[in-house]
Structure 1
């Protein structure tokens, strides 16, 4: 039987749901990977205020989260995390979320900033159609050390025409 995949939008001011995400990041030992410079609860709440937060659902169970922030005109950065056990759905959810955001909003580009040493993330980025556009030297503070950050992007028109076809 095929899994049922859904997306729900979460209110970024819902502290209870945000705390649940924070606790799950701690439980899965991913907090310092997701929030590499300051993994405090206060920083986490601050990072997620005024964002669009999408929760991927697999067969009725929450499978992670994706958030958009740092809006610059018609561009925004996205952040994502898929909980352990749901990794096989990462690209499918990425496409579902990007499709929703591009169709329901006025974004022209979705951007990502990934520490260069997070090599496991790049196949997922390529799977949703993102392309690396540049490397910023020492852009990401990861566990107390500055690492290069790779900036990637996907354009709305390209995504709708090429990735979804």
Structure 2
């Protein structure tokens, strides 16, 4: 019994010593809401011109983020891009895949509830500015539109600072 308790304590100590992620403040970003430039279906046609679309491909170009990193300047850190787990109107996380391409940050993909490492290094100063191109692949059978027919969500960034 004692070895089992010791293993449990070691696991608990390891879990509590891991760096805690904090949400980065992006309120200084130029736009809080962006409009898609292109919305196509899996047929390659505009969504409004398709008869029986099953998937929408949404492209949003040049989304500017301004992340407040003053508290972490000069420290070793990792930054993650997070897709929220709950998105109003989305029935299942399998119904959405987000892809991004950045300039400073690594490109990647994620689904709702996932966080992906996009940057690692010494935080250079009080702000990190990043411009990203975003693509959303949306399985239309997994979407339950709201009364105003809007579908929106807010990805965000988290930071983990090394001790």
Global fold match (TM > 0.5): no
**Relative contact order, higher structure (CA 8 A, sep 6+):** 2
Q: Answer 1 or 2: which has greater helix percent.
A: 1
Q: What's the TM-score once normalised by structure 2's chain length?
A: 0.27
Q: What's the TM-score once normalised by structure 1's chain length?
A: 0.27
